[in-house]
Amino acid sequence: MLEQDRTEPRSVGNYRVEYWSSEPEIGSTAYFDYWNNEQIEKLKPWHILESGFAGLEQHLKKTGLVRQLEQCLDRAAQLGHAVHGVGADLACGVLWTTSLMLKRIGSISKIYGVEYSTHRLLEIGPTVLRHYGVEADKVVLCLGTFYKLRLPDESVDFVILAEAFHHADEPGRLLAEIRRVLKPSGVVLVIGEHRIPNAAVLYGRNFVKRIGSRILPKMAQRWFFGTMSNSVSLFPSLEELLRPDPIMGDHYYLLRHYKQMFSTHGFGHHRIRTRGCPFQGFVLLPQTSTAK
């Protein structure tokens, strides 16, 4: 069912809703089941309807993601591509990035928040927007996949992806779609990407993990090693070590993989590291306007 046939709400509160993908289309998009499982979602700090804003704000502070967003905004401005005008927040989740950007940057006229998790976009998101005092005419809530943006070519001034790029099972398709909708003068901010220093460190970590998995109980393993525990052998291939999480869709890239993906799709990049933050960010500029 497409936009014209749907009977779902055209607004939530005062915020406009658009349906950019059919139900079967988003339902068959990778990792949809996980992000639309409300029982799992209720356990997360994002679920402010269950747990209030304290958990979300504490999480953002602890991870350093807000600082990383600010660094990216500053770098974009230094590069002569200050964020302004019309933008798209892809895989916007509960819209904390949209809210903070609109609150801080008066020259942003509108953000299209694109997301395929219905409860994140249409239930939690509007409460987050209201909490931060976001005006209704500044946001459009777009239920759909980030692979098919219902926006004209070269129509947006900026794109933001927060902890989102590494959830694409087809990163090249996503970058091509971003390149299509971005103005030549535009800018892309990518924050919250896993930071993997290099293959040697990865092999070292895996070795310690594998030894740990033989001597430590499961709870202790989770405490020490977190969630990235993909490999099974002591001496795996790099592909095995970087194998994506099949449920949540986290993909793991070395820096050279990012560089290659960005340049193949016509972007120059500037890498952003944030003190105390386990993630890295990137400011991408269409290569016509930057020397790589």
Ligand X SMILES: C[S@@+](CC[C@H](N)C(=O)[O-])C[C@H]1O[C@@H](n2cnc3c(N)ncnc32)[C@H](O)[C@@H]1O
Using CB positions, name the residue nearest to ligand X: 93
Residue closer to ligand X (CB basis): 220 or 247: 247
Residue 212 in 3-state DSSP? helix
Among 72, 122, 124, 162, which residue interacts with ligand X (rule: CB under 6 A)?
162
- Residues in a beta bridge with 142: 18, 114
Site map for ligand X, 64-93, x if CB under 6 A?
Answer: ---------------------------xxx
Near ligand X in 31-60, by CB under 6 A: 31, 35
CA distance 9 to 264: 40
With tokens 């430590």, the residue in question is 216
By CB under 6 A, is residue 146 in contact with ligand X? yes
Binding segment (CB under 6 A) for ligand X, from list 29-37, 196-204, 213-221, 270-278: 29-37
By CB under 6 A, is residue 116 in contact with ligand X? yes
Binding segment (CB under 6 A) for ligand X, from list 130-138, 158-166, 195-203, 254-262: 158-166
Cα distances from 69 to residues 60, 73, 142, 213, in angstroms, run: 11, 6, 22, 36
Residue closer to ligand X (CB basis): 210 or 243: 243
DSSP labels for 1-43? --GGG--S-SEETTEEEEE-S-HHHHHTSTTHHHHT-HHHHTT
Residue 222 in 3-state DSSP? helix
Residues that bind ligand X (CB under 6 A): 29, 31, 35, 91-93, 96-97, 114-117, 120, 145-147, 162-164, 167
